[in-house]
């Protein structure tokens, strides 16, 4: 097997809130035959600034991220929304900047959401992974609509022995996270995630899976507040055979 060098863009939420998603990403990528590098200069892709209208800071953080990622052949991100920011929005941000546009476009073209990368680029499937559980899957919006991530995580998860699936009603409906939306309009966000949590409970699943930590923290936080027993994981944790570790909000 040839070794494919890839850079892991960790995302600020994964870095601070749940590092094991980053380690799961490395583990899965290495199992798929990649050699993983974690570039030093990375922090945040600038999405919060971009979506809040703070153009200047969005541009600065995009430039920093581009500079950190451009030496590598491919960039892999364990988040549909951060990958979407780099792939779809960086070229937009620099559309009138002849110096930065080609650099932004080049990084955009080689940036992938992790499950799409493992499935489509590596053609890889987890092997020998067993987990007896019933899971339900929420399709996070940016990954789904900006990057077309829908079948890829399901194809990978289907390879896990013992894992069964419960359909989630309105699985493509936003959970109400929306980055800063959830703190700027908490009452609306709460009404939306309340319905999502009810649908998750009604699915009868033991596990909630998704591909974005922001959405997962929102849904898991609501499930915990309402006393639900459903446990939440980033899908890559299960795919990397780390589904036996603590779920979001469980102490190690």
User: What is the nearest approach in angstroms of another protein to the Cβ of residue 238?
Assistant: 17
- What is the distance of C-alpha 20 from the center of its chain? 13
Burial (Cβ within 10 Å: 0-12, 13-18, ≥19) of residue 200:
buried
Counting contacts by CB under 8 A, is residue 85 touching another protein?
no
Q: Rounded to whole angstroms, how far apart are CA atoms 95 and 53?
A: 17
Q: Would you say 195 or 206 has its CB closer to another protein?
A: 195
- What is the distance of C-alpha 235 from the center of its chain? 9
The phi and psi torsions of 170 (rounded to 5 degrees) equal 50, 50
User: What is the nearest approach in angstroms of another protein to the Cβ of residue 30?
Assistant: 13
Q: Rounded to whole angstroms, how far apart are CA atoms 36 and 56?
A: 31
Residue 133 CB neighbour total at 10 angstroms: 17
Q: Would you say 128 or 187 has its CB closer to another protein?
A: 187
Binding string, 142-161, against another protein, x = CB under 8 A?
x-xxx---------------
- Out of 5, 186, 204, 245, the only residue in the binding site for another protein (CB under 8 A) is 186
Counting contacts by CB under 8 A, is residue 234 touching another protein?
no
Q: Rounded to whole angstroms, how far apart are CA atoms 80 and 212?
A: 6
- Out of 28, 31, 34, 61, the only residue in the binding site for another protein (CB under 8 A) is 61
Counting contacts by CB under 8 A, is residue 22 touching another protein?
yes
Question: Which parts of this chain interact with another protein (CB under 8 A)?
Answer: 10, 12, 14-19, 22-23, 38, 40-44, 46, 48-55, 57, 60-61, 64, 92, 141-142, 144-146, 172-174, 176-194, 217-218, 220-222, 224-225, 246, 248-251
């Amino acid at each position: 097997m040839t070794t494919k060098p890839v850079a892991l863009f960790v995302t600020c939420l994964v870095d601070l809130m749940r590092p094991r998603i980053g380690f799961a990403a490395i583990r899965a990528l290495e199992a798929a035959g990649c050699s993983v590098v974690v570039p030093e200069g990375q922090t945040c892709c600038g999405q919060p600034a971009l979506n809040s209208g703070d153009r200047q800071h969005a541009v600065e953080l995009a430039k920093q991220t581009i500079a950190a990622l451009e030496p590598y052949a491919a960039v892999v991100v364990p988040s549909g929304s951060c990958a979407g920011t780099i792939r779809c929005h960086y070229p937009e941000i620099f559309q009138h900047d002849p110096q930065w546009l080609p650099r932004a476009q080049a990084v955009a073209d080689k940036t992938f959401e992790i499950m799409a990368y493992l499935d489509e680029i590596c053609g890889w499937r987890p092997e020998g992974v067993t987990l007896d559980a019933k899971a339900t899957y929420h399709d996070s919006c940016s990954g789904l609509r900006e990057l077309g991530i829908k079948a890829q995580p399901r194809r990978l998860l289907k390879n896990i022995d013992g894992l069964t699936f419960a359909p989630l009603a309105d699985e493509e409906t936003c959970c109400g996270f929306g980055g800063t939306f959830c703190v700027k309009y908490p009452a609306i966000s709460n009404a939306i995630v309340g319905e999502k949590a009810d649908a998750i409970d009604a699915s009868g699943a033991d596990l909630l899976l998704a591909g974005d930590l922001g959405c997962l923290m929102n849904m898991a936080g609501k499930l915990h507040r309402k006393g639900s027993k459903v446990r939440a994981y980033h899908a890559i944790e299960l795919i990397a055979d780390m589904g036996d570790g603590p779920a979001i909000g469980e102490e190690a």
